[in-house]
Chain A
Amino acid sequence: MIRSHVLICGGTGCTSSNSLKIQEAMNNELTAMGLENEVKVVVTGCFGLCALGPIMIVYPEGTFYSNVTIADVHEIVEEHLLKGRPVERLVYHEENESKHHATSLSETTFYKKQKRIALRNCGVINPENIDEYIAMDGYQALGKVLTEMTPDDVIQTILDSGLRGRGGGGFPTGLKWKFASGNRGGIKKFVACNADEGDPGAFMDRSILEGDPHAVLEAMAIAGYAIGADEGYIYVRAEYPIAIKRLEIAIKQAREYGLLGTDIFGTGFNFDIQLRFGAGAFVCGEETALMTSIEGNRGEPRPRPPFPAVKGLFGQPTVLNNVETYANICQIILNGADWFKTMGTEKSKGTKVFALGGKITNTGLVEVPMGTTLREVIEEIGGGIPNGKKFKAAQTGGPSGGCIPASLIDTPIDYDNLIAIGSMMGSGGLIVMDEDTCMVDLARFFLDFTVDESCGKCTPCRVGTRRLLEILDKIIAGNGELEDLDRMEELANYIKSASLCGLGQTAPNPVLSTIRYFRDEYVTHIVDKKCPAGVCKNLLQFKIDLDKCIGCGMCAKNCPADAIIRTDYIAPGHKLASFEIDPKKCVKCGACMEKCKPHAIYKD
C-alpha cells in the first residue's frame, strides 16, 4: 500500500541542480529501508520556485522541502518517511514569518495570489505518464468537442472566452481560428505550435511542455477539429532536451491510447502531431519565419498578407499558436467561456504566466490573473529585491519590449496597459532590475542581441539596428554627445516603421523606453562621463579608500596589470602603509575589489 508520495521537481532548473540524482538516491534509500512499496517517488514538472531548487514535496502532509541535496536524502527517508518527523531544517520558511512554516504550498505568499490554469498540472503530475494526465480530466475536453460540439461551437466558445495569444502579439485566438476555418474538409490545413521561446531569460513555454505536455497535444487536436486540419507541427527549440523528450513520450502514449492518429474516440476524426526542432534563431519565433523554417529553409520572414490563416505552412491554411495559448484551451472548453471571462481585465481575460528573473528573491515561474499589478508580482509573489537593494525597473517583452520604471509599479498588467507605457506583454519574460543595473548598458545588451539575430533580409533592420548599437557603444565609451539622443530616437522610429517583420519593428523598443524613463542616466553618461550604476567600465575608475586600506597587499598580488602600488601613507590605527591604483595602468578587471577583505576598494 502506498502511504506517501514524494514529488521531486524534474524541471530544467532543478535538474540542473541535480534533482534527478536525488530521485535516484531516494529510490535506493527507500529500497534499503524496505519502504519501496509504501512510498512512491514521482518526478514532476516545475513547481515555480526554481530559486529554491531542488524542490521536494511529501504528501499527504504536503511538507515542502527546498534546496535539497543528495546528502539530505538519507535523513529525509529515515526521519520523515520512516519515523514521521519532517526534517525541520529543510522545510521552506518564508522570510517574513519565520515561525510559521507553510504546510501546504497554496498557503505561501508565493502561491497565494497565483491562479494556475496553464500551469495547473505542473509540479502536480508525472508528465511522462498519460494516466496521471487523464486522472486530472485530461482528454475530456477533446472528447467533449468531438462528441458534443460542432467545429463552429468550438470556435465560438474560444471567441467568447476572450482568450488572446500568449506568444506576444495578443491576437484573439478565436478570431484566428475562425479565419482559417473556411472550406473544412475541402483543403489540406495545418495546426502549428510555437515552442521556439526566443526571449532569452524566459522559460514559461518550456516549463509547460516539461510539466504538462499532453495539455498542448490535446489543445492542438481541438484546434484541428475546429478548423478542419488533420496534421499538427510543434516547432520546439533544440536547446530544450527535456521538453523534447517529454513531448516525444507524450505523443507516443497518446497514439497508443488512440487519442492521436485516426478515428479518435471512434468519431472519424483524424489528427496527428510531429515535432520539428528550431536551431537557435530568434527570428524563427516570428510566425512566417517559423513556417519557412519547418519547410527546411533559412528562417526568413515573408511579407504578410497573405496571412498564415490563408497561406501558411507548405502554402496551406495554418493556425499557429503559442504553447501557453494552447495550455488554456482545454480548461476553457471544460469550464466554459464565462468562467474564463471572470478572470482578468476588460480586454485581457484569464491569466498570464511570467518567468520572474533577475534581481528578485523568488526567481521562478508565476501565473497570475491579468490585471495583477507589477507591485504584487514583484513585492509579494516575488519576495522583493534581495540584499536590501531598491527596485529600479522591470523589463517585459524581452528584446522586443521595454522597461517599466519604479514610478509605474502599480500598473495593472495587461496587454493594453503595457503597450500604453511603451513596453509590451511579450511572451512572459519579466526581468527585475535594481540600482546596480545600468539602463544604457541594458539597452545595449538587447540591441546587441537584435543586431546578432536580425536575419538581414531588409535594410532598415539590418543596417539601422547596427547604427543604433554604434551610437550606444559611443556613449558607453564616454564619447557621446547630447545630439545622439535625438539621433537615436529618430533612427529608432524609422526602423520601427520601415522594417518587414516584427523583429525589426520592435527592436528599437528597449532603446526608446530607456530614453523615455531614464533620460537622466543617458545624460550623466554623456555629459558627466559617469555611469551611476557603476557598470560601464570606460566611465568608472577603481579607487582605494586610503583610510580603510589595511595594507595587506592582496589586491596588488591579484592585479593582472601591476597597477597597484604601496603608498607611504599609514592610516590612523593601521600598521601597514596603504595601497593605491594607478588609473593609467588599470584595466578595470575588478579582481582587486573581489580580493579586498575590508572593502577598501570602490568604483567611482
Chain B
Amino acid sequence: MKKNLTTVMFRGTKEQEEQLYAVIEKYRETPGALMPILQEAQEIYGYLPIEVQRMIALRMGISMEEVYGVATFYSQFVLNPKGEIAIAVCLGTACYVKGSGEILDKITQILGLPAGSTTSDGKYSLEATRCIGACGLAPVLTINNEVYGRLVPSDMEGILAKYK
C-alpha cells in the first residue's frame, strides 16, 4: 500500500495521550498486541500520525521501525486525518462494474479533489474503498458513515449539497 504522509499539524491532547497509555497497558500481556493497539489508537486520534506511532514505540519498548512498518502495511491505518466530511466511494468489483469509477470522477470534478486526499482546510476528504458489503445497493458511497446506494453520477451534486 502506498501511503501519503500528512501535512496537517498534530494536535493531540493530554487526555488522548492518557487513553493511549491505558490501551497499551491493557494489552501488556497479550501476544501480538501491536495490531490491536494501533487499531484502538486510531479510534482515539482518528488517524495515526508519526507522533502517535512514536509514543506507542516508546511505551511498548519496541523500535519505531517496527511500528511504522506495521502502520504502513495495512490500508485501514490512515496516516492522514480524514476531512470533517469524509467521502468514501466503493471501488469493490460489484460497484466498479456498475460504474462507481464514474461516481468517483464526478465527485473529483465537483470538489476538485483527487481520490486519496483531503482539502487543505480539512473540510472534505475523498477516498476509494474496497467493498463495504452493501453490494446489493451497488454502486455505493459513504459520507461520514451514512450509506448512499444505487447511484448515478447525476445524483452527486444533490447529495454533496446536503453537506456544506
Contacts and interface: CB of A to CB of B under 8 A. Distances in A.
A358 B93 contact: yes
A589 B106 CA distance: 8
Contacts, number: 143
Most chain B CB neighbours (cut-off 10 Å) among A12, A294, A295: A12
- Contact residue range for chain B? 35 or more
Contact of A594 (B96, B135, B137, B154): B154
A543 interface: no
Contacts of A206: 133
Interface stretch (B13-21, B34-42, B50-58, B79-87): B34-42
B147 A50 contact: no
Interface string A184-221: 00000000000000011111001000000000000000
A357 B135 contact: yes
Contact of B75 (A201, A203, A281, A294): A281
Contacts of B32: 276, 294-297
Contacts of A169: none
Given A17-B137, A363-B136, A398-B93, A296 B35 contact: yes
Contacts of A442: 97
B33 A296 contact: yes
B123 interface: no
B73 interface: yes
A591 B75 CA distance: 32
Contact of B93 (A295, A395, A453): A395
A501 B31 CA distance: 25
Contacts of A429: 93
A13 B131 CA distance: 11
A359 B97 contact: yes
B25 interface: no
B3 to A, nearest CB: 11
B93 A445 contact: yes
A279 B31 CA distance: 17
Nearest to B152: A594
B131 A298 contact: no
A53 B136 contact: yes
A99 to B, nearest CB: 26
B94 A16 contact: no
Contacts of B75: 279-281
26 contacts: A12-B132, A12-B134, A51-B136, A53-B136, A199-B93, A201-B131, A203-B133, A276-B36, A279-B75, A280-B75, A281-B1, A281-B74, A281-B75, A294-B32, A295-B31, A296-B32, A296-B70, A297-B34, A298-B73, A299-B74, A355-B135, A357-B136, A358-B138, A363-B94, A363-B138, A437-B97
Interface of A: 12-13, 16-17, 50-51, 53, 199-203, 206, 238-240, 276-281, 284, 293-299, 314, 355, 357-359, 363-364, 395, 398, 429, 431-433, 437, 442, 445-446, 452-453, 455, 560, 589-591, 594-595
A-B pairs, top 3 by smallest CB distance, nearest first, are: A50-B136, A357-B94, A296-B32
